[in-house]
Structure 1
Amino acid sequence: MTKKLLFQFDTDPTPSVFDVVVGYDGGADHIAGYGGVTPDNVGAYVDGTIYTRGGSEKKSTAIFVGGGDMAAGEAVYDAVQKRFFGPFRVSTMLDSNGSNTTAAAGVALAVKALGGDVKDKKAVILAGTGPVGMRSAAMLAKEGATVAITGRDLGKTQKAADAIEKRFGVKVEAIEAKDEAARKAAVSGANLVFSAGAIGFELLSEANWSSEASIEIVVDYNAQPPLGIGGIDAMDKAKERHGKLALGALGLGGLKLKLHRTLIGKLFEAADQSFDADEIYALAKEMA
């Protein structure tokens, strides 16, 4: 039987242990991890995957692009795709820092909790300039929501909004929010509030969201206390709090891991699949 080989191209110096474990749990027979991968050196690695097997055996080779930096991962992923031609290709997946699977799980569960339709609802992603926040913003905007991302610096936040539009073809608003008072103002009138900030910072206190009548659901991607949104629990999975629904990082983590494992398995079903944000979110909606 042809072995299912997963080649992990990591932009960090050392390949992610987390991604290796999930790769095996997803069905790979063997994982070869390479650190320090860049668009300049990835070509030789790709050539090794596409010229060694033919016919039905080719689907048993796949590429996973990871690392802590989504921008670097995107550059490597694009370089991988450009290396392919004709039948000389293998299936690929991009999930730097778990950003695609995490955002897909969070948005899919939030949309499901609100009845499957967020068209014309207002969504605000607090600290939305990082990869998870940017992915979440794009997915929500594609669902028809009116989306804004916040950040401490307007220039950086606008740059993130522009990057979302360039890559995903949707517009999101950039809001400068340097302190909690500004973040409270940003979520005024919002229906969905996501927190995508760094570990160790509460972005919105319980008092500043529990009293906002428009909010229907709050979603926090941070599993370590203090959480980004005060007054919820990391284990919350559409739990009612103050007349609203709460979704915590561990509450959505089950779907995130299941999604990651399922995608690894799907890599080996054919030799021409590409799983980036859009494809990963589509699967998350099916699985939610």
Structure 2
Amino acid sequence: MKTILIQLDTDPQPSSFDRVVAVDAGVDELFSYGGVTPENVEPLVHGAMFTRGPADLKNTALFIGGSNVAAGEAVLEKVLRTFFGPMRVSVMMDSNGSNTTAAAAVLAASKHLDLAATEALVLGGTGPVGLRAAQILASQGAEVHVASRSLERAEQACATIVRNVEGAKLTACTSEGDGLQEALGRVQLVIAAGAAGVQFFDADGWQAADSLKVAIDLNAVPPVGLGGIEVTDKGVEHAGVTCYGAIGVGGTKMKVHRAAIAKLFESNSLVLDTAAIYEIATSLG
């Protein structure tokens, strides 16, 4: 029986990026829908649920994407409410590449640090990728400083993570001023996950942090978030700090994305969210 992936994209046009990855992951058939909302998704889910018998439903899966992560999460919530009993299919949510990118970034850091003994700073920590990177780090026992231009938003992000990670060790801070400098001066890991064109530190700024061991910049658009890190850096040392750029992390992100798509067809009951996708990432070694 052929595997079918149903792409539910919240943007008007379904992402060509996500379509290519699905094909490369070995999906037999790909059905793509744009403009998906919680209000119109139910018939699409019913089409996935009721066309094959319970024993064959593992061959159908849903992928939720789009550029708006909040919209994707709302669609996921509606999808899960539509399932009942054995009538369900596996589903993955990766709007804006948020979960797979965050998983790849933390996996890169884990190759050089014991995350359970690490203090980390996530810049752009309230954004789609930053929030999830902070959540994964917290789930691995790291102490995480979540930075945002708004302290209130940083505090809200911390509250969101606490709901998902019991015992999370989190501190909210602003991404400017003395608080940020103080946080940088005590961490071993910094992940820059801000918006395109936002630079948090120039090279001299982050290289002056004596405790820093690993720096990861996920912005490929100049100026990068951490000056002096090249987008292609992958485990490259700058001033004694192991560095990764956006493309350096991107190769792993693609592997995680493809592996997660393949994983969907192992059963009909998987929900691949932030935690589940990081678990897949760690299985890749």
Asked if TM exceeds 0.5, the reply is yes
Secondary structure of 1:113 counterpart: coil
C-alpha distance after superposition, 1:120-170 (max 9, x if no partner): 321000121101000000111111111011111112222222222224443
C-alpha distance after superposition, 1:168-222 (max 9, x if no partner): 443521101246x653333111110010011112111111111211001001111
Q: Distance in 2 between matches of 1:130 and 1:12?
A: 18
Match of 1:143 in 2: 140
Secondary structure of 1:86 counterpart: coil
Match of 1:9 in 2: 8
TM-score of the aligned structures, taking structure 2 as reference length:
0.95
Q: Distance in 1 between matches of 2:159 and 2:18?
A: 29
Q: Distance in 1 between matches of 2:44 and 2:56?
A: 18
Match of 1:108 in 2: 107
**Which amino acid is the alignment partner of residue 236 of structure 1?**
D
TM-score of the aligned structures, taking structure 1 as reference length:
0.94
Retained in 2: the 8 A contact 1:236–1:247?
yes
Q: Distance in 2 between matches of 1:168 and 1:102?
A: 19
Match of 1:177 in 2: 175
Retained in 2: the 8 A contact 1:183–1:204?
no
Q: Distance in 1 between matches of 2:247 and 2:196?
A: 14
C-alpha distance after superposition, 1:29-60 (max 9, x if no partner): 22111222222222111111001101443221
Paired residue total: 284
Match of 2:183 in 1: 186
Match status 1:53 vs 2:74: no
Match status 1:221 vs 2:218: yes
Match of 1:157 in 2: 154
Secondary structure of 2:115 counterpart: coil
TM-align CA RMSD: 1.5
Match of 1:35 in 2: 34
Secondary structure of 1:165 counterpart: helix
Retained in 1: the 8 A contact 2:191–2:216?
yes
Secondary structure of 2:97 counterpart: helix
Retained in 2: the 8 A contact 1:161–1:171?
no
Retained in 2: the 8 A contact 1:6–1:64?
yes
Shift of 1:225: 2.1
Match of 2:91 in 1: 92
Q: Distance in 2 between matches of 1:286 and 1:36?
A: 34
C-alpha distance after superposition, 1:92-141 (max 9, x if no partner): 11101000000000001111122xx2213210001211010000001111
**Which amino acid is the alignment partner of residue 268 of structure 1?**
F
Retained in 2: the 8 A contact 1:202–1:227?
yes
Match of 1:279 in 2: 276
Retained in 2: the 8 A contact 1:147–1:173?
yes
Q: Distance in 2 between matches of 1:69 and 1:263?
A: 20
Q: Distance in 1 between matches of 2:120 and 2:54?
A: 46
Structure 1 residue ranges (4+ consecutive) displaced by more than 4 angstroms after TM superposition:
none
Match status 1:44 vs 2:81: no
Q: Distance in 1 between matches of 2:179 and 2:269?
A: 46
More moved, 128-137 vs 77-86: 77-86
C-alpha distance after superposition, 1:61-108 (max 9, x if no partner): 110011112122112112111211121011111101000000000001
Unaligned runs of 5+ in 1: none
C-alpha distance after superposition, 1:213-251 (max 9, x if no partner): 100100111122221111111111111111111011111
Retained in 2: the 8 A contact 1:123–1:147?
yes
Unaligned runs of 5+ in 2: none
Retained in 2: the 8 A contact 1:184–1:204?
no
More moved, 48-57 vs 254-263: 48-57
Q: Distance in 2 between matches of 1:128 and 1:283?
A: 22
Give the share of equivalent positions with the same residue, in percent. Answer: 45
Match status 1:197 vs 2:194: yes
1:264-275 paired onto structure 2 within 5 Å:
264-275=261-272
